[in-house]
Structure 1
């Protein structure tokens, strides 16, 4: 199977408290640091998504536009 440029896949384990650990390589690539706030989007038919941090600001701006 050929690897697509910029595409990644990892597995994580959900702990007893419902927490997951984001793999180190993912944190480094996406510049996720301790204390950062992440947005998790869910769709019952398509699953979960954790968009990049830049999408959070754009999402918030869209919500508060009048």
Structure 2
């Protein structure tokens, strides 16, 4: 893997998709974001905007804020119903992980 890491907290590199569709998150990036084996990550995909990966805990905190009545504060451009649906979907990911 060829990578370029800058000192200002940015990283650019490439990864290859393996036979099973898996990628390896480079160690520098895992260290940068505190990602450890067994952590849950959320993958968001939009056919026009691309793919994003984030730690579950980030979305868990957002979901907690939405479900505590702060939906408009967190996502002012979305309806409260859409925000609550999103928060419940995030929480269901944690429920699925606990069942495994």
Question: What's the TM-score bracket when you normalise by the shorter of the two chains?
Answer: 0.7 to 0.9
Unaligned 5+ runs, structure 2: 1-5, 67-86, 89-100
Count of matched residue pairs = 62
Indicate whether 1:12 and 2:24 are aligned.
no
Deviation at 1:60, TM superposition (A): 3.7
Structure-1 separation of matches of 2:19 and 2:11 = 26
Check whether the contact 2:40–2:55 (CA below 8 A) recurs between aligned residues: no
Deviations 1:20-44 (A, max 9, x none): 0000100111111001110010111
**Which structure ranks higher in relative contact order (CA pairs < 8 Å, sequence separation ≥ 6)?**
1
CA distance in structure 2 between the aligned counterparts of 1:16 and 1:33, rounded to whole angstroms? 23
Q: TM-score, normalised by structure 2?
A: 0.53
Give 1:27's aligned residue.
Answer: 30
Deviant stretches of 4+, over 4 Å: none
If each structure's strand is expressed as a fraction of its own residues, which one has the higher value? 2
Q: Which has the higher helix share?
A: 2
Whether the 8 Å contact between 2:41 and 2:53 is mirrored in structure 1 is yes
Structure number, greater radius of gyration: 2
Matched, 1:40 2:43: yes
